[in-house]
Structure 1
Amino acid sequence: MPRINVKDTNVHERTFNGKDGKQQIIREQRASLDLGDGYELPFRVGLGTGAVHPVGAYDISPESFSLGRFGDLELSRYLKLVPVKVAAPVATKVA
């Protein structure tokens, strides 16, 4: 299953003037998509006004998927990431 990996909490901000002349800020965080083949594909996760994702592994929330105007699968501009829960190690009793 594809995994999203966030390796740091650095936020990249870009500012520009919108069509209305007001200053706009784009906030992004870098992440990578791991397809399980040993290669990770870097990409940017748009944060909007949301919180920074802590370092860790994530799945993409089903809320981030939708059908487009012509029935195509689309991803939301602002992905919702769900932390992957790591199973706690099972303690073994030594006799």
Structure 2
Amino acid sequence: MPNVIVKTAQVDETINQKSGAIIRSQTAGLDLGNGFHLPFRVGLGKRPAYPAGNYDIDPKSFALNGYGDLTLGRYVDLVSVDHKPAPAGK
């Protein structure tokens, strides 16, 4: 799976001109393995920012559109690969 790199926990906030809602996002880079990072925005909603680190895209973030094509959901969830979960029972 491609590696997602978050370089900073900085959150970008913009105001939707129509609704007045605050749109929170964070910039990440998708490493496709060719030495270049494809920048993209991770929508946060009210969720906290992701700390700097390396991530995978959570499989729950993938969906099918009305035509059966693979898409990403409105909010892409990231799963840290830098921090492994603690072993069960500890």
- The aligned residue for residue 20 of structure 2 is 23
- The aligned residue for residue 80 of structure 1 is 77
1:85: how far off? 4.0
Q: How does 1:1-95 map to 2 (within 5 A)?
A: 1-18=1-18, 22-85=19-82
TM-score for the superposition, normalised by structure 1: 0.81
2:60 maps to amino acid: E
Identity %: 50
**Any gaps of 5 or more consecutive residues in structure 1?**
88-95
**Any gaps of 5 or more consecutive residues in structure 2?**
85-90
In the alignment, the residues of structure 2 paired with residue 17 and residue 24 of structure 1 have an alpha-carbon distance, to the nearest angstrom, of 8
1:16: how far off? 2.6
TM-score for the superposition, normalised by structure 2: 0.85
Large movers: runs of 4+ above 2 Å: none
1:58 maps to amino acid: Y
Task: Work out which of the two has the higher radius of gyration on C-alpha atoms and give 1 or 2.
Answer: 1
Q: What count of residue pairs does the alignment treat as equivalent?
A: 84
1:14 maps to amino acid: T
